[in-house]
Structure 1
């Protein structure tokens, strides 16, 4: 299990991120404490983390860990942007979807006027995700705002697979994901996109779209300890690859670890 995390401290995380950088990949540092009820603790940890990072890193945050506190979230993103560190807003459970969507879009409007400081996550196992992606793309384009996306298949299949807003079949999710790739390749005004996937078909489609563009429009991302050989090869091919580097107190990381491991076990390839 420890191959999938950096450790339980910022010191361990910096050491791990250096290894990622040595492999010509970009570390996305994630203080992976989910279901937190101490937003001040989460905020303070991110401030300490940012002091130890530079613009070769990105960070990932969860709005729910900050208890959707706009002041703390905006302060964190402002501090990150001052160091030219991009912030990825990770996905939330379905029960928090509307709140996630509203606050994420508000944050993007505030922080992406001059460059892409904030990246929003789209879970393509949701039946409404492609429409949401199109609507956001049009909205931010009309506002002349930089639009950052991270495209995933989904993060909460284990707990939400009975909900009717999710695709039941893997094939439908795969089709929706790849449709999102094609759409973003055709609507790339002021966009920055990360394809977070372990799916070879989606990776190859993203690479193909990059090949036929004057400027690459897709970066890629994988989880620490997963699909390392595949993505090492992709780096050698000249693509930009990110690695999610989670850390935190071990006991408090268990919900994150169990969710990630469930998503990626061999018998369930729905998520990636």
Structure 2
């Protein structure tokens, strides 16, 4: 996604989305709604009224309670200087609006090309400080192009503590708006402590929780799809037992002992091919090797299997 627009714009857009989410969480905590699932956090609008302002939310059709999915229109504050209700979050400048329009146009071209050629468009996750904007734009594309089947897939980083909230909100949004949910979930491959979940096992649990939730949605909506982008043998075995309507993917050159048996069992399996100039691809592959250090025990299995083949 960062190739389709200026990273600085994605960063600014992400900051707006994060502030909006933090504001909702702050109000939820004030109403003692924190500590529950995000879709269960419903704000009582009457408690947000300020008596001296009269009806703070003058819309007669306003709901009694709102949650994060329909909260954005209520991000307003009273400014004594103007005597008006004004947006809490600043609007885009004209230049930022143009950048947003250009990014949407480029995404539209790619998604239409995918539809015309009968392929899927997988939007990869990137740095966490870009990801809110990337996910938001991807969801917009899904609402347009996933009406009949899942064409556009979003990636959910399950090493983040808020991964389940992100998945559950997008699934709920797909139900409300009538489009097909498509997910590409990155498995427990990250080893750094600073990426939210405290340890590898916590990431594993988060991944399986998100995956189980999506698999339940597939049972409910047969057009929903999920791709399990995982090198984790336990995760693959868990998914294999539960559902046949799953796609799997691994990086080319890694975990063939997982890819081949899955393909033989009838699962669609994809090998992810990094493509580009050597000086551009090597840093990416180096980073992926570092990310995978938590599961490097799989290399020993690869060596044992290869040695066994050579000996026979």
Q: What are the within-5 Å matches in structure 2 for residues 145-156 of structure 1?
A: 145-153=179-187
SS of equivalent residue, structure 2 residue 281: helix
TM-score normalized with structure 1 length: 0.67
SS of equivalent residue, structure 1 residue 121: strand
**Cα displacement string for residues 200-257 of structure 1 (whole angstroms, at most 9, x for unaligned residues):** 11101111111xxxxx331111100000122111211222211101211111223211
- The aligned residue for residue 208 of structure 1 is 241
- The aligned residue for residue 144 of structure 2 is 110
- The aligned residue for residue 117 of structure 2 is 83
Higher strand share: 1
Distance in 2, matches of 1:141 and 1:84, equals 24
| CA gap 1:111/1:146 in 2 versus in 1, 3 angstroms | same
Distance in 2, matches of 1:139 and 1:237, equals 33
8 Å contact kept, 2:156–2:186? yes
Q: What are the within-5 Å matches in structure 2 for residues 224-239 of structure 1?
A: 224-239=252-267
What is the Cα deviation at residue 265 of structure 1?
Answer: 3.4
| CA gap 1:63/1:116 in 2 versus in 1, 3 angstroms | farther
SS of equivalent residue, structure 1 residue 246: coil
Matched, 1:129 2:157: no
What is the Cα deviation at residue 81 of structure 1?
Answer: 1.4
| CA gap 1:88/1:74 in 2 versus in 1, 3 angstroms | same
Structure 2 unmatched runs, 5+: 8-102, 298-312
TM-score normalized with structure 2 length: 0.59
| CA gap 1:154/1:93 in 2 versus in 1, 3 angstroms | farther
Matched, 1:194 2:224: no
- The aligned residue for residue 72 of structure 1 is 106
Task: Give the number of the structure whose alpha-carbon radius of gyration is greater.
Answer: 2
**Cα displacement string for residues 83-132 of structure 1 (whole angstroms, at most 9, x for unaligned residues):** 11111000011111221121111111121112211011001000001111
SS of equivalent residue, structure 1 residue 254: helix
8 Å contact kept, 2:153–2:184? yes
Distance in 2, matches of 1:90 and 1:183, equals 20
What is the Cα deviation at residue 154 of structure 1?
Answer: 6.3
- The aligned residue for residue 170 of structure 1 is 200
Distance in 2, matches of 1:156 and 1:80, equals 30
SS of equivalent residue, structure 2 residue 126: coil
> Structure 2 residue aligned with 1:179, among 209, 215, 219?
209
What is the Cα deviation at residue 146 of structure 1?
Answer: 0.9
- The aligned residue for residue 291 of structure 2 is 263
Distance in 2, matches of 1:190 and 1:85, equals 15
Bigger relative contact order (CA 8 A; separation at least 6): 1
- RMSD of equivalent CA atoms: 2.2
SS of equivalent residue, structure 1 residue 265: helix
Distance in 1, matches of 2:195 and 2:252, equals 29
Alignment size in residue pairs = 199
| CA gap 1:154/1:67 in 2 versus in 1, 3 angstroms | farther
